Amino acid sequence: MSVTVRRVAALVGVLVCLGGAAVMSASHRNQLMRQARLAAEADAEKTWQATADALQALVPPMSARAQRVAKLENIASIIRSTTSHSDLQELGSTLKDARSSEAWLNDPLAGTSFTLFLGREPALTETPALVETLKGQLERAELAPSGAFVVEGQQLWLVGVARTEVENLSGQGAFVGVAREVTAADLPPTAAGVALQVVMGDSKNALSAGAKDDVEHLARRRISMKRDESPCCVTRDLVPGVSLAVLKDPKPTLDAAEAEATRAQWPRFGVGGVLSLVIVALALAGGRKPKVEDARDALLRETQQQLRQSQEVLQKLSTGAFATQQAGAVPNVVPLGDPVLDSTQASVSTSRYEVVAPLGEGGMARVAIAVVRGAEGFKRTFVLKRLKPEHVANPELVNQFIDEARLGASLVHSNIVPIFDFGRDADGYYLAQEYILGRDVDTLVQRSMEKRGRPLEAPLVATIGQEALKALSYAHTRTTDDGKAAGLVHRDVSPANLMVSKRGEVKLLDFGIVKSADRVTQTQAGVVKGNLFYMSPEQARALPVDPRSDLFSLGMVLTTAVLGQPLYDGNTMYELMTRAANGPTAADLERVRAGAGPLVGFLLKALAVDPAARFQTATEMANVLAGVMPPAPAMELEELVRFLVGDDLEAERQRFAGAS
């Protein structure tokens, strides 16, 4: 083969490799974007359904109000003393005066208008335009009080009708109808990026909720829904004549998919580049005359083998073997032993822990869901934490990892996530923790604000606090083998490190930076470790800490749960460090007084800047909390978890069960 032909063939090969990588990257990106669009559409549908359920929940109280009005003695006495509609009409002014009197101010009619029917004909009414609408409800009210949304005069009304228990002097029965106009204040609270509109028929009037820009976007989409295919909005009838439109901004989901597609293209182009280099090397090698024929044959065989391996990798890439985590979803399982993955992942197959799905990584370690298999189909799921390969040669980090495993394994308590195993294999050091199907307190607080528009209730917060204090009391009072106090201080008590299981169990986790007299490694003077939003002032100042520091941090966690957001804020690390070092300000404590309800006094003591003014032990803190607010039954916490994240937990359970 001539030099020119070899060069042309090499160029064609390079173009094919790089072009193939580009085509597969584009295909993968399209697949990710399609999945992201479907996820955004499903999210918008879920938001619509939640909003519709919240609005429909307004109907039963209105029918119940009609029933209470029908039982009012004021109404009954009027009906009993009449014989005809004319009698009732003559009493109209008297009834009007009665409604304005003090005796009627707090009755079930407050905030509503009413209509009184004698038989099936209206006798008295405060809303003439709604008479016929209310009359249409009478047949249903014969059997039981009824309620409904109705549209009248381009306005949305909520009405209820109930039959009275008395008759007039002529033996005629009566019905009472109540009505009030639905306003924007009746719409459920919206999260960021969510807008709502309730539209009555063809009217341009609409009840709206949400940020101004989001509401305007929704209004444009509602008018031109067919010309805009972005998966942000859902519009359907709430009841006949009333449509509900919901916007849920898909940008975060689509942006995450776009970013993932960008990250995923680099391995493909990397493999394409390797193939191109191999082809160029083969062409150059073919241009020289080898001195030994066997050497040429060996090079040719080696190159052909490399090409086959690279083609297999490209094929895996094209079939989605490297699909990675999308926003809010558990990642697909990464094939083990793949030549394009790093050495740690590639050799995990030699470990007895089989990785099911990665969970994430920090500066020191990687965390994944893993399964251990045994005889007769035995298997158990763990959270596998593995020291990063680049840290294996660092004695200080290795000792810290060993400390975490050793201390964690020594803590055996129902409210502490245990460590079951520690070791070293071909991939380096690892530890295995209990896998808890649940969510941390941080997630529960966020979901509560999103789905219910309010933080956690005080009894539930008290339950979380009591269970966490059991764990801290156990850890703080631990002794060493020779009977001396271990001096354990967690130093990172935060909402992210308090897990609530599907069954409502509260677990404290992550003793990675615990202070202990028995540690091999000790924190250097002046070094601050922990979460700045929750650490005690003395910890933020890098001063010596004792168990009272953990009690302050738990107080901050419970304050976050009852207020719905952290007490501190800051735009920079320096601002947060300054706030943590100074402790709660007068304005912070005022927020606690305004929003903590019955837990105010308890939390103010827990958040004292001076450790001597706080609770001195976890047991003391638990006893005071029990006196202030008896904890809610564990069943209520379980029900809250099911309501806030039940669907997510079930999906997670099924994914891991299928993968393992």
Domain boundary among 130, 163, 181: 181
pLDDT band at 623 (very low <50, low <70, confident <90, very high): very high
Do the domain assignments include residue 524?
Answer: yes
Question: Which segment of 21-30, 53-62, 406-415 scores lowest on mean pLDDT?
Answer: 21-30
pLDDT digits (tens, 9 = 90+) for 509-528: 876 544 444 433 334 333 34
Do the domain assignments include residue 214?
Answer: no
Do the domain assignments include residue 326?
Answer: no
What is the C-alpha to C-alpha distance for residues 94 and 318, in angstroms, rounded to an integer? 82
Do the domain assignments include residue 76?
Answer: yes
Do the domain assignments include residue 104?
Answer: yes
pLDDT at 111: 75
Domain boundary among 181, 207, 228: 181
What percent of the chain has a predicted confidence (pLDDT) above 70? Answer: 74
Q: Which residue has the higher pLDDT, 170 or 5?
A: 170
> Considering its fold, how many domains does the chain have in total?
3
Do the domain assignments include residue 507?
Answer: yes
pLDDT at 23: 73
Do the domain assignments include residue 489?
Answer: yes
Are residues 637 and 608 part of one domain? yes
What is the C-alpha to C-alpha distance for residues 631 and 36, in angstroms, rounded to an integer? 41
Are residues 532 and 553 part of one domain? yes
In this structure, what is the dihedral angle of CA atoms 185, 187, 192, 197, given to the nearest 10 degrees?
A: -110
Domain boundary among 181, 214, 230: 181
pLDDT digits (tens, 9 = 90+) for 57-103: 898 988 888 888 888 877 787 778 777 666 666 566 556 665 665 45
- Average pLDDT of the chain is 77
pLDDT at 279: 65
pLDDT at 601 over 90: yes
The question of whether 492 is a catalytic residue gets the answer yes
Q: Which range in 206-215, 324-333, 497-506, 518-527 is most confidently predicted, on average pLDDT?
A: 497-506
Are residues 490 and 431 part of one domain? no
Q: Which residue has the higher pLDDT, 557 or 365?
A: 557
Cα torsion angle, 135, 139, 143, 148, sign: negative
pLDDT at 190: 82
Are residues 498 and 463 part of one domain? yes
pLDDT at 656: 74
Question: Which segment of 115-119, 160-164, 320-324, 446-450 scores lowest on mean pLDDT?
Answer: 320-324
Coil, strand or helix: which one is 541? coil
Are residues 111 and 76 part of one domain? yes
Say which CATH number the domain at 631 has: 1.10.510.10
Are residues 500 and 455 part of one domain? yes
pLDDT band at 499 (very low <50, low <70, confident <90, very high): very high
Q: For residue 322, how many C-alpha atoms fall within 13 Å in the half-sphere facing its CB?
A: 26
Catalytic residue chosen out of the listed positions 43, 440, 492, 510: 492
Are residues 603 and 501 part of one domain? yes
Q: Residue 370's closest CA among 357, 351, 386, 387?
A: 357
Arithmetic mean of pLDDT, 503-512 = 84
Q: Which domain holds residue 387?
A: 336-435
Are residues 605 and 464 part of one domain? yes
pLDDT at 347 over 60: no
Are residues 122 and 80 part of one domain? yes
pLDDT at 331: 34
Question: Which segment of 386-400, 528-542, 641-655 scores lowest on mean pLDDT?
Answer: 528-542
